[in-house]
């Protein structure tokens, strides 16, 4: 299976109880139905991206990157690549590359969906249809800041950086992650 049909399958079967997430799920499926290139960054109207909310082994800290283009603290993630067979593969690859942490464990079901306008590597305004996953770091994980970040650090889940424009949704993702890990 290639990424596009795998994305359709994952989003078709994802069971979300949140009304806003259900409507976004349908919008993502609509994009996938309309665009065979919806998982490729070359899809100018918008394309799927995959990101990871990385929690430490205690669930008390979240790993965030200071994004060099956006200038804000965000979860790890990015564009899907041709070698990614699934959105889970893309999110885990991005989290591993951006954190420098080996042994990350990703949950297979999406945690959250979001759409945001951005000018990405195409140099043209587009939209990222971001599928966000929950990832757990092993005990003692020490992230290594690489070229894709201006900074990388663990933040206490109860002292997250201020979200200037309300689009990152990190606090929302943390709340969802904590609910999920209590079950």
The domains found in the chain, sorted by start residue, are 3-182 (3.90.79.10)
Q: Is the pLDDT of residue 28 over 90?
A: yes
pLDDT given for residue 68 in this prediction:
80
Query: Which residue has 């993630």 as its token pair?
Result: 77
pLDDT category of residue 82 using cuts at 50, 70 and 90: very high
Residues 6+ apart with CB under 8 A from 182: none
Q: Is the pLDDT of residue 167 over 60?
A: no
pLDDT category of residue 183 using cuts at 50, 70 and 90: very low
Mean pLDDT of 153-161: 93
């Amino acid at each position: 299976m290639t990424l596009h049909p795998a994305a359709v399958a994952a989003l078709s079967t994802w069971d979300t109880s949140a009304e806003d997430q259900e409507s976004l799920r349908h919008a993502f499926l609509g994009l996938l139905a309309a665009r065979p290139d919806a998982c490729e960054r070359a899809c100018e109207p918008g394309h799927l991206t995959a990101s990871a909310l990385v929690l430490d082994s205690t669930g008390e800290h979240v790993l965030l990157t200071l994004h060099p283009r956006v200038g804000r603290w965000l979860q790890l993630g990015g564009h899907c690549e041709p070698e990614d067979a699934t959105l889970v593969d893309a999110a885990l690859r991005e989290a591993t590359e951006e954190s420098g942490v080996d042994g990350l464990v990703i949950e297979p079901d999406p945690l959250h969906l979001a759409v945001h306008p951005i000018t990405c590597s195409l140099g043209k305004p587009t939209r990222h249809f971001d599928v966000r996953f929950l990832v757990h770091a092993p005990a003692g994980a020490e992230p290594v800041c690489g070229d894709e970040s201006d900074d990388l650090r663990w933040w206490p889940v109860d002292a997250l950086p201020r979200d200037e424009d309300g689009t990152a949704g990190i606090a929302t993702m943390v709340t969802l992650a904590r609910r999920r890990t209590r079950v």
